[in-house]
């Protein structure tokens, strides 16, 4: 039952799969061990929104650009459709306009445009520009349907890159020379643990001194009534004080103060709007953030209603039918968007400690294997 590979990876979420891709690209033999029968964690619960604009300046923004390019290269090979491209950020409050303008003037805004509500409506008639002050267009983003994309990526890695998957096996012990599950010992020259939100399991000893916590998000899938076709993702004012690429700008302080007074409930629930569209016309809409060491399993209807109000404010929907609701969890903290710990040569732990794994995992994985 024992097996031997150059690299063994724990976790078949996007971080584990990206590491499997990066190792296979280097010609290494790779095994991925996943405790569930298929990935059901954050990587399939997210928006599938590969976001560049709005990511924290520096490392995270660079990783997002590189990961977006890798998604664009891998998606057609793995038969993963790109649902749509680009992003509109709608400024509803006048204090949001200086934030968009300041962002557009940075290196990160180089290919973005700030346009009037009228021009935004012409280019994206589905936007609700009533009362809006301006909009930012970013051409950088991609959207994939994560619940389909993640299994397709795993299947393609298995078929086209020879990655071996051990499904329904938990890694119980790990060291630089391999891992042990209840069924087998898997030997490897290199071990990478990508445990997602499992901060206390096999990677626990290596993360114990990091100030990490968890946050839980509420998400919905809705059918717009009547049907409408978005050409890209949409965000709005609350995103400008949540996403570090905007929120770190001095201009964001006045907007934050205003929104704290005007939208206290949304801020308390960590709500900001992202809406993306699927091939069947439904919209994936979110989200809220509830920080908790042990995420509360009960979703709040009130929070969902607030999220849907923000959707109506940004998108010209008359009504929506809620098709699905779900929650997801990801790790936060440590003062970084991602943590890589290398306790010994040959053993790495990689955890995305922000809601950016779909946007940055491929670049993170390349960095892990950059030394060979």
Residues that bind ligand FAD (CB under 6 A): 10-16, 33-36, 39, 41-43, 45-47, 49, 51, 170-171, 194-198, 201-202, 217, 219, 287, 328-330, 352, 355-359
Rounded to a whole number of angstroms, the minimum distance from the CB of residue 127 to ligand FAD is: 19
Rounded to a whole number of angstroms, the minimum distance from the CB of residue 365 to ligand FAD is: 10
The three-class DSSP label of residue 64 is: helix
Q: Residues 6 or more apart from 205 whose CB is under 8 A from it? A: none
The two tokens of residue 302 are: 């009130």
Closer to ligand FAD by CB, 132 or 359: give it: 359
Helix segments in the chain, DSSP class H: 14-25, 42-45, 59-77, 96-104, 117-123, 146-161, 204-207, 237-240, 244-247, 252-262, 264-268, 301-314, 357-368
Rounded to a whole number of angstroms, the minimum distance from the CB of residue 143 to ligand FAD is: 8
DSSP 8-state assignment for residue 203: T
Rounded to a whole number of angstroms, the minimum distance from the CB of residue 255 to ligand FAD is: 22
Closer to ligand FAD by CB, 273 or 329: give it: 329
Rounded to a whole number of angstroms, the minimum distance from the CB of residue 353 to ligand FAD is: 8
Measure the CA–CA gap between 346 and 348, rounded to whole angstroms.
7
Helix and strand numbers, DSSP H then E, in the chain: 13, 18
Closer to ligand FAD by CB, 71 or 137: give it: 71
The two tokens of residue 139 are: 């051409």
Closer to ligand FAD by CB, 48 or 224: give it: 48
Closer to ligand FAD by CB, 36 or 262: give it: 36
Closer to ligand FAD by CB, 132 or 271: give it: 271
Rounded to a whole number of angstroms, the minimum distance from the CB of residue 117 to ligand FAD is: 26
Q: Dihedrals φ, ψ of 248, to 5°? A: -80, -10
């Amino acid at each position: 039952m024992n097996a031997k590979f150059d690299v063994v990876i724990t976790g078949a979420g996007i971080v584990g799969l990206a590491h499997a891709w990066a190792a296979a690209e280097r010609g290494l033999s790779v095994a991925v061990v996943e405790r569930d029968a298929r990935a059901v964690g954050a990587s399939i619960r997210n928006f599938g929104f590969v976001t560049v604009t709005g990511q924290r300046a520096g490392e995270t923004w660079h990783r997002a650009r590189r990961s977006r390019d890798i998604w664009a290269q891998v998606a057609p090979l793995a038969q993963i459709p790109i649902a749509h491209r680009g992003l509109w950020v709608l400024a509803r409050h006048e204090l949001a306009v200086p934030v968009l303008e300041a962002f557009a003037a940075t290196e990160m805004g180089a290919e973005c445009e700030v346009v009037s509500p009228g021009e935004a409506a012409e280019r994206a008639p589905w936007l609700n520009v009533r009362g809006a002050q301006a909009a930012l267009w970013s051409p950088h983003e991609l959207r994939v349907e994560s619940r389909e994309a993640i299994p397709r990526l795993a299947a393609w890695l298995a078929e086209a890159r020879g990655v071996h998957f051990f499904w329904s096996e938990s890694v119980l012990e790990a060291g630089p020379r391999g891992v042990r599950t209840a069924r087998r010992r898997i030997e490897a020259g290199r071990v990478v643990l990508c445990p997602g939100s499992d901060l206390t399991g096999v990677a626990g000893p290596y993360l114990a001194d990091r100030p990490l916590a968890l946050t839980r998000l509420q998400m919905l899938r809705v059918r717009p009534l009547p049907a409408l076709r978005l050409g890209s993702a949409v965000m709005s004012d609350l995103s400008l004080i949540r996403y570090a690429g905007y929120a770190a700008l001095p201009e964001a302080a006045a907007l934050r103060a205003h929104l704290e007074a005007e939208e206290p409930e949304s801020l308390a629930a960590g709500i900001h709007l992202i809406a993306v569209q699927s091939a069947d016309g439904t919209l994936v809409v979110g989200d809220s953030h509830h920080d908790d060491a042990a995420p509360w399993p009960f979703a709040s209807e009130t929070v969902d209603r607030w999220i849907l109000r923000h959707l109506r404010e940004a998108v010209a929907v008359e009504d929506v039918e809620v098709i699905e609701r779900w929650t997801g969890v990801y790790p936060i903290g440590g003062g970084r968007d991602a943590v890589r710990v290398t306790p010994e040569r040959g053993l790495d732990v990689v955890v995305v400690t922000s809601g950016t794994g779909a946007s940055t995992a491929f670049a993170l994985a390349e960095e892990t294997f950059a030394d060979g």
